[in-house]
């Protein structure tokens, strides 16, 4: 198309340069999400060989149960961050939903209804974020830092320092229950199914493509006919609803509805999302990468705990991993960009700022769901 030939010269040249630099068949592993998946596999294998008690059904079950809440919240978070926004209020929304759940249970409502209400409440909390971000065009970082504090405060208003713990045993037991074999909790299976749904949404629908477009340039996306504000609003609603669901899971898993449930979880979620290769600036990242990221962090933590590595060392390891996950792709991108820009930009022409090179990396956005 004429449209293509007008714009393709630079990316094409860059692509040619990259092709010359890297061997073809190893490409998938060179992509960040592939690398995270590979790291997950290596860590799991290494732990199974080196750490006593790691490769047992019971341990895998605990590992996956510990990862469920982070994994759940990370799914919509991936989409939110891809659009260039962030939702830091997720853990507080989780806590508020948990507190409300406890309050309603004490009030004598049936648990089936409470679960639905808790998720609906989460959606409303997300809608509040969405409204501020879209209708009032406020930065989501500021809005959700505000609601992070506000929702947690509300949770304490609802339940104070009480804990509601008398949830029925069949429910708390079922939440921690596993599929036959004893290794995979059904809660993780449900999370994986949701991950597939979110993955299809992000990678297989025009809506999902639109999210990348607005992450790269919201204005251009709006001009291209993408309803940026509407999409972002619904992403925040989804983020809230999923936090509500995670709150239900958390409450039943620990058989304890408390206002401080999940405190600090937002950092684990954002860490997993970044480790999974989603750019904090938006426009880049894949859902499988994030899912691997969540599992990689959980596996590493579990294996190191079993190996009696002290908590502070453990924090240092996860922190370093996170920094590496930001630094390494950046370094690779710079290394790749240098020869490309060198050829593309003759002397005298201003060097392209890094953001404009993003379209060249569209392979990272196109992961199969």
Partner 1 sequence: MPLRSVRIPRIPRTPHSPRGPRRAAAPGRAARLGVAALAACALLATAACSGTTREDGESDRDAGAGASSTATADPNAPLAEDLAVAFLPKQVNNPYFTVADEGGHAAVEEFGGEYKEVGPSEASASSQVSYLNTLAQQHTDVIVTSANDPNAVCGALNSARSAGARVVTFDSDASPECRDLFVNQATAEDIARTQIELIAEEIGGSGQIAILSATPNATNQNAWIELMQQELEKPEYAGIELVTVAYGNDEDEKSFQETQGLLSSYPDLAGIISPTTVGLAAAARYLSGSEYGGRVALTGLGTPDQMREFVHDGTVAQFALWDPADLGYLAAYAGAALASGQITGAEGETFTAGELGEYTIGADGEIVLGPPTIFTADNIDDYAF
Q: How far is the CB of 204 from partner 1 (least distance, A)?
A: 12
Q: Which residue has the tokens 């079950």?
A: 61
Chosen residue from 38, 48, 192, 305 binding partner 1 by CB under 8 A: 305
Chosen residue from 48, 222, 317, 326 binding partner 1 by CB under 8 A: 222
When asked if residue 320 is in the footprint of partner 1 (CB under 8 A), the reply is: no
Give the nearer residue to partner 1 in terms of CB position, either 315 or 366: 315
Strand pairing partners for 185? 178
- Residues numbered 183-202 forming contacts with partner 1, rule: CB under 8 A: 190, 194, 197-198, 201
When asked if residue 219 is in the footprint of partner 1 (CB under 8 A), the reply is: yes
Chosen residue from 29, 173, 332, 334 binding partner 1 by CB under 8 A: 173
- Residues numbered 54-113 forming contacts with partner 1, rule: CB under 8 A: 56, 58-59, 62, 66, 84-86, 105-106, 108-112
Give the nearer residue to partner 1 in terms of CB position, either 38 or 229: 229
- Residues numbered 18-57 forming contacts with partner 1, rule: CB under 8 A: 52-53, 56
Per-residue x/- track, 265-294, partner 1 (CB under 8 A) = ---------------xxx------------
Q: How far is the CB of 272 from partner 1 (least distance, A)?
A: 16
Task: Kindly indicate which of the ranges 8-16, 130-138, 286-294, 325-333 contains the residues binding partner 1, using the contact rule CB under 8 A.
Answer: 130-138
CA dist 171 and 111 (Å) reads 9
Q: How far is the CB of 109 from partner 1 (least distance, A)?
A: 7
CA dist 178 and 196 (Å) reads 20
Whether 94 and 261 have beta carbons less than 8 Å apart is answered as: yes
To the nearest 10 degrees (0 to 180), the angle between helices 265-275 and 287-306 is: 120
Give the nearer residue to partner 1 in terms of CB position, either 10 or 147: 147
Q: How far is the CB of 146 from partner 1 (least distance, A)?
A: 13
Whether 249 and 175 have beta carbons less than 8 Å apart is answered as: yes
When asked if residue 263 is in the footprint of partner 1 (CB under 8 A), the reply is: yes
Contacts 24+ apart (CB under 8 A), 101-104: 101/164, 101/247, 101/248, 101/251, 101/257, 102/159, 102/162, 102/163, 102/164, 102/251, 102/257, 102/258, 103/158, 103/159, 103/164, 103/257
Chosen residue from 17, 218, 272, 344 binding partner 1 by CB under 8 A: 218
Give the nearer residue to partner 1 in terms of CB position, either 296 or 344: 296
Which tokens belong to 9?
């010269």
CA dist 36 and 329 (Å) reads 12
Q: Residue 49, class by beta-carbon neighbours within 10 Å (0-12 exposed, 13-18 middle, 19+ buried)?
A: exposed
When asked if residue 160 is in the footprint of partner 1 (CB under 8 A), the reply is: yes
Q: How far is the CB of 44 from partner 1 (least distance, A)?
A: 16
DSSP-assigned states of every residue in 150-180:
HHHHHHHHHHTT-EE----HHHHHHHT-BST
Which tokens belong to 221?
């996306």
CA dist 272 and 312 (Å) reads 19
Give the nearer residue to partner 1 in terms of CB position, either 229 or 352: 229
Q: How far is the CB of 73 from partner 1 (least distance, A)?
A: 11
Chosen residue from 149, 174, 323, 335 binding partner 1 by CB under 8 A: 174
Q: How many residues does the chain have?
A: 369
Residue 215: alpha-carbon gap to chain centroid: 15
Alpha helices in the chain (DSSP H): 2-7, 9-21, 27-30, 32-50, 57-82, 90-106, 111-134, 140-159, 169-175, 186-204, 206-216, 218-223, 228-253, 265-275, 287-306, 311-344, 362-365
Task: Kindly indicate which of the ranges 21-29, 41-49, 297-305, 331-339 contains the residues binding partner 1, using the contact rule CB under 8 A.
Answer: 297-305
When asked if residue 369 is in the footprint of partner 1 (CB under 8 A), the reply is: no
Give the nearer residue to partner 1 in terms of CB position, either 22 or 319: 319
Whether 79 and 198 have beta carbons less than 8 Å apart is answered as: yes
- Residues numbered 223-262 forming contacts with partner 1, rule: CB under 8 A: 223, 225, 227-231, 233-235, 237-238, 241-242, 244-245, 248, 250, 254-256, 258-262
């Amino acid at each position: 198309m004429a449209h293509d030939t007008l714009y393709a010269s630079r990316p094409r040249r860059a692509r040619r340069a990259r092709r010359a630099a890297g061997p073809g068949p190893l490409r998938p592993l060179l992509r960040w999400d592939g690398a995270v998946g590979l790291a997950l596999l290596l860590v799991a294998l290494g732990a199974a060989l080196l750490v006593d008690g790691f490769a047992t059904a019971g341990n895998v079950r605990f590992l996956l149960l510990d990862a469920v809440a982070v994994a759940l919240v990370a799914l919509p978070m991936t989409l939110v961050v891809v659009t260039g926004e962030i939702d830091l209020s997720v853990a507080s929304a989780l806590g508020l939903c948990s507190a409300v759940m406890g309050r309603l249970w004490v009030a004598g409502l049936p648990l089936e209804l409470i679960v639905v209400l808790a998720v609906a409440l989460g959606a409303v909390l997300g809608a509040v974020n969405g409204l501020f971000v879209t209708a009032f065009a406020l930065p989501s970082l500021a809005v959700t830092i505000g609601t992070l504090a506000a929702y947690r405060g509300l949770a304490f208003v609802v339940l104070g320092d009480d804990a509601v713990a008398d949830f029925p045993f069949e429910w708390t037991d079922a939440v921690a229950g596993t599929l036959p074999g004893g290794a995979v909790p059904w809660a993780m299976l449900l999370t994986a199914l949701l991950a597939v749904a979110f993955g299809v949404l992000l990678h297989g629908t025009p809506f999902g493509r639109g999210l990348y477009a607005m992450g790269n340039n919201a204005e251009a996306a709006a001009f291209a006919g993408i309803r940026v504000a509407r999409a972002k609003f619904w992403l925040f609603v989804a983020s809230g609803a999923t936090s509500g669901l995670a709150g239900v899971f958390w409450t039943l898993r620990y058989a304890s509805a408390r206002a401080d449930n999940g405190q600090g979880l937002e950092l684990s979620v954002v860490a997993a999302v970044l480790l999974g290769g989603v750019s904090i600036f938006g426009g880049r990242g894949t859902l499988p990468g994030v899912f691997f990221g969540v599992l990689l962090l959980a596996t590493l933590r579990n294996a190191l705990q079993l190996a009696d590595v002290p908590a502070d060392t453990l924090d240092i390891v996860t922190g370093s991993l996170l920094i590496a996950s930001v630094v390494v792709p950046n370094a690779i991108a710079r290394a790749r960009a240098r020869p490309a820009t060198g050829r593309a930009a003759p002397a005298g022409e201003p060097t392209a700022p890094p953001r404009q090179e993003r379209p060249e990396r569209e392979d990272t956005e196109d992961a199969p769901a």
